[in-house]
Chains A and B, each alone.
Chain A
């Protein structure tokens, strides 16, 4: 049979394709629907948080920080409860990372504050002596891209039924509604509202002034995202 295949390239290629596609079918398909179901307490990202997530991705924070807590005592001691599949239901793309040069960030919102992040991005060794993380000073001057975050919200709401403007169940029995704007101007106003809360806790006067003017620096969006990781 093999000799015959080696003389018939078409059938050879078909054979290779069948053999290599087998594993994917068996391993990936069966769990597909189940893994995308959110657990109670998981809400979609707000416009500002999503813009912050884009800043996180743009700067490849995931190259050094994981967002996946493994079920070991050392990890739950250090970072909190181990990760559950449904907690990632609204993560497109996933940001588990593959290397921890810095610590895991999956629940960083539980133990770090806005001003800590601010100082950390400006000069990492000032809050963590010995840190090898570079400073990310341009985040204080670049403007966050709220429009793209809004476009993404519209896309996932339409194609993947992500529940914006709908009540989502929380762990304490209450519900939460994550707002999505009805127009670009509306989305920007919602994001700015949220940005003002973050900026109030920050020290950097230029950032405060920018937000007061109605602009949103990348750092504000990024901190909104980091604070949402719980």
Chain B
């Protein structure tokens, strides 16, 4: 038998790459609009008084978070899975008609769900639980998409040639299991249309309305167990999967330590789930849970920094690559921001710090240095690495890439610094008392003082969006302007395809 390289099938990966870019633009554009709405309330009327109901901050806000989390990030996760999965398992999707069918079904059902989400959130159909706003019919569709994704992962694993699962595959499996468990339990709800009145009437009211299975404090507990860990299994785990594959591939360096990756993987799995309680400090959940949430958030530094250090040390002795390659820059900056936000989070989870930070813009700053710095940069890096290989064309412009890198870095820095100052100012002003023990400021004083920081944040977000548009343009030109190479492009890696 001739020993020739496998021809991988990137059909599904390409489709999800496009949605990553498209939904990234949508999510970030809405984010910029929201930022300016807070600085200049007239931005709420961006499409005029007649459409104010749909362009209002309160309708766009859930759309922004969901577009970035479930649109941009998840598409990125799917796109990389359909690329990385085949390569590390040494099997092509084209070998199985069932897998190709599942992949396509996965994509198109996902598109249907995205469309339903956009329409329903703009119409104000929401359960109000953050990042779980969808009503029950959409929830069922989401679960279906997720089950197909799982079938596709385990299907590919089932026909693999490489016996041992590469680290990235561990993380993709964990992503699937984690989100499945969290999403199901947090969205337990009863549709109200099945209720019957004393007069025997049923099918009353909106058919899509539902009521949560949990009430008050319990609902909050389940929601933040979900909310925090959706960050874990949507923003941390799959992005770690990406960097474990793409950084060694792009740099040609083997991962620094296998033992460290073992420790950080199983550590992350065990520790992360306890930390959701830090969203509920000083609330009505029992004290011991708050304390557990706080302590485990601090312990979480260990597995998080374990992965990040493992990545940074992968570049040991090869740091000249960071200067030479814009793509390596993206990945190293992503790892650095990962370390940064996984240090900032535990600091905010310390009870005394949380007393000031909670409910303020500092939290928004923390989220965004994670999402823009870590998730955004890593997904863009992954797509930049994949593009030449799936489209069989060189990247259109390396200098455009470098320019984009610096514009976006400036954007992120403006974003989190302005939000730090805004958040701490807000937190300190809320609690300030004068010498007679009366409140020093009325609430509106703490709002108007933030105007300059809100404006800076808007500018920071705009810079990031501009950079993202440059990224989209660069990928578009790569797809269309460059001549097709005869063979799939290979990298300098000694590790084999």
Q: A residues touching B (Cβ–Cβ < 8 Å)?
A: 2-3, 6-7, 9, 12-13, 16-17, 19-24, 26-28, 31-32, 35-36, 54, 57-64, 66, 68, 70-75, 77-78, 83-103, 124-125, 128-138, 145, 147-152, 154-156, 158-160, 181-184, 186-187
Decide: B284 and A84 in contact? CB cutoff 8 A: yes
| Chain B 279-290 near chain A by CB (<8 Å), digits 1 or 0 | 100111110010
Q: How far apart are the CA atoms of A54 and B296 in the complex, in Å?
A: 36
Kindly supply a per-residue 1/0 record for chain B positions 259-277, scoring 1 wherever the CB is within 8 Å of any chain A CB and 0 otherwise: 0001000100110111011
Asked if B192 contacts A152 (CB within 8 A), the reply is yes
Given the known A-B contacts A131-B444, A183-B199, are A151 and B173 also in contact in the complex, defined by CB atoms under 8 Å? no
Instruction: Please tell me if the beta carbons of A98 and B359 are within 8 angstroms of each other in the complex.
Output: yes
A9 and B192 form a contact (CB under 8 A): no
For residue B60, give the distance in angstroms from its CB to the closest CB of chain A. Answer: 9
A91 touches B211 (CB 8 A): no
Residues of B within 8 A of A87 (CB): 216, 284
User: Can you list 11 residue pairs at the A/B interface with Cβ under 8 Å?
Assistant: A16-B170, A16-B173, A20-B269, A63-B62, A77-B438, A85-B216, A98-B130, A134-B57, A147-B206, A182-B197, A184-B199
**Which of A60, A184, A186 is within 8 Å of B128, CB to CB?**
A60
- Give Cα distance in the complex from A136 to B44, angstroms: 10
Interface locus among B218-226, B246-254, B385-393, B465-473:
B218-226
Q: Which residues of A contact B59 (CB under 8 A)?
A: 59-60
Interface residues in B192-217 by Cβ distance below 8 A to A read 192-199, 201, 204-206, 209, 211-212, 214-217
| Closest-CB distance, A181 to chain B (whole angstroms) | 7
> Chain B residue with minimal CB distance to A130?
B448
**Bound-state Cα–Cα, A148 to B38, Å:** 32
Convert B7-46 into 0s and 1s, putting 1 for each residue whose CB lies closer than 8 angstroms to a CB of A.
Answer: 0000000000000000000000000000001110100110
* Contacts across chains A and B counted by CB atoms under 8 Å: 276
Which residues of A have CB within 8 Å of B204?
147-148, 150-151, 154, 184
Q: Is the CB of B220 within 8 A of A96?
A: yes
- Contacts A61-B58, A99-B359, A128-B444 given; indicate if A13 touches B284 (C-beta within 8 A): no
Measured as residues with beta carbon below 8 angstroms from the partner, the interface class of chain B is 35 or more
- Asked whether A17 and B211 contact (CB < 8 A) given A27-B277, A31-B285, A151-B193, the answer is no
* Cβ-closest chain A residue relative to B209: A148
Please judge, given known A-B contacts A28-B221, A148-B205, whether A88 and B164 are in contact too, CB under 8 Å: no
Instruction: Report A61 CB to chain B, min CB distance, Å.
Output: 7
Q: B58 contacts A145, CB within 8 Å?
A: no
Choose one: B125, B170, B194; the contact of A12 (CB below 8 Å).
Answer: B170
| Residue of A20, A35, A71, A89 touching B273 (CB-CB under 8 A) | A20
- How far apart sit A154 and B296, CA to CA, in the bound complex (Å)? 41
Contacts of B140 in A (CB 8 A): none
A129 to B276, CA, bound (A): 37
A63 touches B61 (CB 8 A): yes
- Cα distance A131–B44 when bound, in Å? 13
In the complex, residue of chain A having the shortest beta-carbon distance to the beta carbon of B208: A148
Q: Which of B338-364 contact A (CB under 8 A)?
A: 355, 358-361, 363-364
Query: B173 and A62: CB pair below 8 A?
Result: no
Q: Which of B163-189 contact A (CB under 8 A)?
A: 163-165, 170, 173-174, 177-178, 181, 185
Q: Are B124 and A101 in contact (CB under 8 A)?
A: no
Chain A residue contacts of B364, Cβ below 8 A: 99
- Say whether B146 faces chain A, with CB atoms less than 8 Å apart: no
B256 adjacent to chain A (CB < 8 Å): no
Q: How far is the CA of A128 from the CA of B447 in the complex (A)?
A: 11
B126 touches A101 (CB 8 A): no
Determine whether the beta carbon of B219 is less than 8 Å from that of A154.
Answer: no
Contact of A92 with B124 in the complex, beta carbons under 8 Å: no
Given contacts A89-B216, A182-B199, 14 further A-B contacts (CB under 8 A): A19-B270, A20-B270, A27-B277, A64-B58, A71-B282, A90-B216, A92-B212, A92-B216, A94-B215, A94-B223, A98-B359, A100-B359, A130-B447, A151-B206
Whether B215 contacts A160 by the Cβ 8 Å rule is yes
Expressed in whole angstroms, the minimum distance between the Cβ of B235 and any Cβ of chain A is 16
Q: Which residues of A contact B443 (CB under 8 A)?
A: 78, 102-103
For A10, the closest partner residue in chain B by CB is B154
Residue of A94, A138, A155 near B220 (CB, 8 A) is A94
A151 touches B218 (CB 8 A): no
